[in-house]
A = this chain, B = another copy of it.
Amino acid sequence: MGRGNCHGQENWHGKFHGFGCRMTAGREAVITVLQGTKDHLSADEIFIKARRINPDVGLTTVYRTLERLSEMGEVHSLDSGDKRARFELANNEKGHHHHLVCTKCNRMIDYDDFIDDEVKLLQESEKKLSKKYDFTINSHLIQFYGICDNCK
| Residue positions of A touching B, CB distance < 8 A | 77, 79, 81, 100, 102-103, 109, 111, 113-115, 117-118, 121-122, 124-126, 128-130, 132-149, 152
B143 adjacent to A128 (CB under 8 Å): no
Assembly CA distance A8 to B75 (angstroms): 47
B129 adjacent to A149 (CB under 8 Å): no
CB distance from A109 to the nearest CB of B (A): 6
A126 adjacent to B144 (CB under 8 Å): yes
Contacts of A126 in B (CB 8 A): 144
Contacts of A130 in B (CB 8 A): 146
* Top 4 A-B pairs, shortest CB-CB distance: A79-B79, A134-B149, A137-B146, A136-B147
A132 adjacent to B118 (CB under 8 Å): no
Assembly CA distance A118 to B141 (angstroms): 13
B129 adjacent to A114 (CB under 8 Å): yes
CB distance from A82 to the nearest CB of B (A): 11
| 19 pairs of residues in contact across A and B, judged by CB atoms under 8 Å | A109-B133, A109-B135, A111-B129, A111-B133, A114-B125, A114-B128, A115-B125, A117-B125, A118-B122, A122-B142, A129-B144, A130-B146, A135-B144, A137-B144, A137-B145, A137-B146, A138-B145, A140-B142, A141-B144
